[in-house]
Chains A and B, each alone.
Chain A
Amino acid sequence: MARRALKRILLVEDDPDIQTVTSMALGSFGGYTVRVCGSALEAIAAAAEFRPDLILLDVMMPGMDGVDTLRALRQVPATATTPVIFLTARVQPADVAKYKELDSLAVIRKPFEPTVLVETIHEIWTRYRDEAH
């Protein structure tokens, strides 16, 4: 089955400044429609209505962390199979190994250059899409 084009990105990130920078880059440079959620609960609430093509997920968040958020989002029909990229400062080898096991596409390390982030996401998405053919 061919995968659809990347248009809608759900950004789950608790830091307001990183929200601003990331969503600005994704919107202005990538031309994506971005929905920003500051917590797992917000993301779960927004998932069904927003129906993202891709989820960018922070790991260190108060309350439910990124790993648990991913598990919760997998229970929501709209995001049960939506690809996820972790966007995190927690990149010790043990952490990265855990993200790999969690059915995610990739991990992008903070800090990142927002302009490069757009290119990286584009590359990852292209390969993900081509894999389906």
Chain B
Amino acid sequence: MSTGFDEIASQYPIALHEYIRDGGEGALLRAYQIGRHAVAIGVGVLEMAALHEEALLSALIATAAPEDGTHVAKRASEFFSEFLAPFELTRRGFQEAHSAMRDLNRGLERRLSAALQDFESAQDELIEQKRMEKQKNDFISVISHEVRTPLTSIHGALNLLKSGLGGDLNPQGQRLLDAAYRNSQRLVRLVNDLLDLQRIESGTMTFNLRPVDVHSLLEQAVESSQAHAGQLGIKLQLRGAPAGARVRVDSDRMMQVMTNLLSNAAKFSPPGETVTVEACRHNGGVRVEITDRGPGVPQEFHGRIFQKFAQAGHSERGGSGLGLSITKAIVEHMSGHVGFQSEPGRTTFYFDLPEWRRHVSREKAAGNMWPAGR
């Protein structure tokens, strides 16, 4: 297309939008001038009709309320008529202009109604989607509260019995108590995971990002998961982390990620084995690897391992099926990436985080009581 037409193609929609918005004789005169220019450089009416339709549709899409559509169409028609006036002064243009106007008027109503319908249904769909999302979040929040209250008594009572408050039980009684306690722990985890997932999905989970030393973070994670792993006969070992490597993360959330990965690794390892943790520099970032000696992730499960409620046929191991999905969401929120490699006898889950390199003054020690109280 000629440079002249390009100029018209860029000016026409602006002038049309201006007339739709403000009206006025000045804008109509502008339409006439563009029309004259089009005639002068030999642009055909049909080309102009296509340009007009495109500009009209974009004006309709930009319309805030569907009921304004009629007003837009009316002004657009006035503008287009004015624009076509110079064409009517030429012999060839006269016929074409009339035929273009006729076609346009005929098609316009149909196009307009279709565009409005699309607009309205898209709007309805969005409203419905938002309503459903809110309903789901409210539901999870209510359920979570309603379940937490009785669970506090059940889990609390079992915890006190296990700590010996009710005196000694015979071996059968102890086994029953252990089973009840284990399963109430599982329920607590499920409720907590559901709430975390809801927070992630609704965007209300807060992240307090600070540069953190990778080695200290891993040391702390291994230490705090050691007791739980020990109950399963598993040893946790930190093999090392690059000196001075730091990542910008929310420490509490990272502990949650590490606890989850370490607990999974311990759960799937044969008793007596060691789960290792190691960090290294990888592709300009820091990679943390947690390796176990378990049976490996079944091949058919590889594609959906990070999906919600995904469990590789091991629900008897006490997971909620949400842990890895939460882990993935948390790591990704901190600009990271999670993955795994698995073969029978050796599975490594890893996550990569960008290394924090900026020199910052030493973080002020947080004198805030809140984190510890959570």
Contacts and interface: CB of A to CB of B under 8 A. Distances in A.
Nearest to A123: B372
Interface stretch (B27-35, B49-57, B146-154): B146-154
A17 B154 CA distance: 9
B374 A111 contact: no
A37 to B, nearest CB: 17
A15 B149 contact: yes
Interface stretch (A2-10, A39-47, A72-80, A85-93): A85-93
Contacts, number: 91
A49 interface: no
Interface string A101-133: 000011111111111000010011001100100
A80 to B, nearest CB: 20
A106 B372 contact: yes
Interface string A29-54: 10000000000000000000000000
Contacts of A109: 374
Nearest to A90: B145
Contact of B145 (A24, A89, A106, A124): A89
A100 B152 contact: no
A127 B163 contact: no
Question: Chain B contact residues: over half helix, strand or loop, or mixed?
Answer: helix
Contacts of A110: 148-149, 151-152
A40 B141 CA distance: 25
Q: Which bucket holds chain B's interface residue count?
A: 20 to 34
Contact of B156 (A21, A89, A93): A21
A115 B163 CA distance: 8
Nearest to B367: A131
A22 interface: yes
Contacts of B155: 111, 113
B153 A21 contact: yes
Nearest to B157: A21
A15 B153 contact: yes
Chain B CB within 10 Å — which of A92, A94, A100, A108 has the most?
A92
Given A15-B149, A24-B160, 5 more contacts: A85-B373, A106-B370, A107-B370, A113-B159, A124-B369
Interface of B: 141, 144-145, 148-157, 159-160, 163, 165, 188, 191, 195, 199, 204-206, 367, 369-370, 372-374
Interface of A: 15, 17-18, 20-22, 24-25, 28-29, 60, 85, 89-94, 100, 105-115, 120, 123-124, 127-128, 131
